[in-house]
Amino acid sequence: MHKKTWLVFICLAILIAGYSVVQYFFMDAHQAGFVKLKLMLDSTLSSFWYIMLYAHIVFGIVALVIGPFTLFSRFREKNINRHRMMGKIYMLGIFLGSVSGLYLAYYATGGLVSQLGFGFLALLWMITAIQALANIKHKKIRDHQKWMIRNYSLTFAAVTLRIWLPLFTVLFGFERFNLSYAIIAWLCWVPNLFVAEWIIQRKINTMQENVKIQL
């Protein structure tokens, strides 16, 4: 990952992480925009739902902020031990975040389309992490890096979700929020995966060109 790209990712990640911490931990979570809107559309939310929401936020923030450091090649090469330690923390955040995310997906606003969108996001979030972990254990470093790029593109859904939400709200209003949210449930992560594949292919092409130059 190039330095400028890394700076954009880390700035957006810290911005969203800080916003979530302030909204859910320094202020009353019941007054958070997402929760208030959900209470308006749904009758009640159980105490266990709140527990899983907090778990998802905490572990999602951990993964969101640590992710760019694990992907930045210069940091990785100069701090291999820290990279491994941060990688373990990142994986823990992914596994616990995806489990809580899968639970929350079942209760997603917007009906079945939203439930499936966020459900697949949670499952793929875990699957790509498992693939990344399996490849590094077999010392397949390049394949590990590819799966980590795919995985972080899904982690970054926390950012893209919050970009699409206000945009759709401005364009279509609260009256069509259920429909908007159902679309965003897919829009927040599917394009991210396409971008991840583009980045991976670009890296492969760059490596191949470098090999040709050396030959």
Question: What percentage of residues in the chain have a pLDDT greater than 90?
Answer: 55
Q: Which two tokens stand for residue 38?
A: 């959900």
Say how far residue 52 (Cα) sits from the centre of its chain: 16
Domain count along the chain: 1
Residue-wise pLDDT tens digits, 140-186: 999 999 999 999 999 999 999 999 988 998 888 877 888 999 999 99
Residue 6 pLDDT: 73
Which pLDDT does position 167 carry in this prediction? 93
Q: Residue 81 and residue 92: Cα distance in Å, rounded? A: 17
Confidence of residue 27 (pLDDT cuts 50, 70, 90): confident
At residue 206, the pLDDT reads: 67
What is the 8-class DSSP label of residue 26?
Answer: I
Give the pTM: 0.88
Measuring CA to CA, how many Å separate 44 from each of 30, 56, 130, 181?
12, 19, 35, 19
Q: From 56, 185, 54, select the one nearest 112 (Cα to Cα).
A: 185
Give the pLDDT score at 7.
Answer: 84
Domain limits for position 100: 3-214
Which has more pLDDT, 208 or 68? Answer: 68
Residue 77's pLDDT band (cuts 50, 70, 90): confident
pLDDT digit string (tens) for 110-122? Answer: 889 999 999 999 9
What angle do helix axes 157-172 and 190-214 make, rounded to 10 degrees?
130
The type of residue at 215 is L
Q: What confidence score (pLDDT) does residue 98 get?
A: 97
Who's near 193: CB < 8 A, 6+ residues apart? Answer: 150, 153, 154
Confidence (pLDDT) at 86: 92
Q: Is the pLDDT of residue 63 over 60?
A: yes
* Runs of H (alpha helix) within the chain: 3-21, 33-41, 47-71, 73-78, 80-106, 112-137, 141-155, 157-172, 177-187, 190-214
Please say if the pLDDT value at position 34 is more than 80: no
Q: CA nearest 72: which of 62, 87, 58, 93?
A: 87
pLDDT band at 15 (very low <50, low <70, confident <90, very high): very high
Q: What is the three-class DSSP state of 211?
A: helix
Res 30: pLDDT? 64
Q: Reply yes or no on whether the pLDDT at 211 is more than 80.
A: no
Q: Model confidence at 42, in pLDDT bands (50, 70, 90)?
A: low
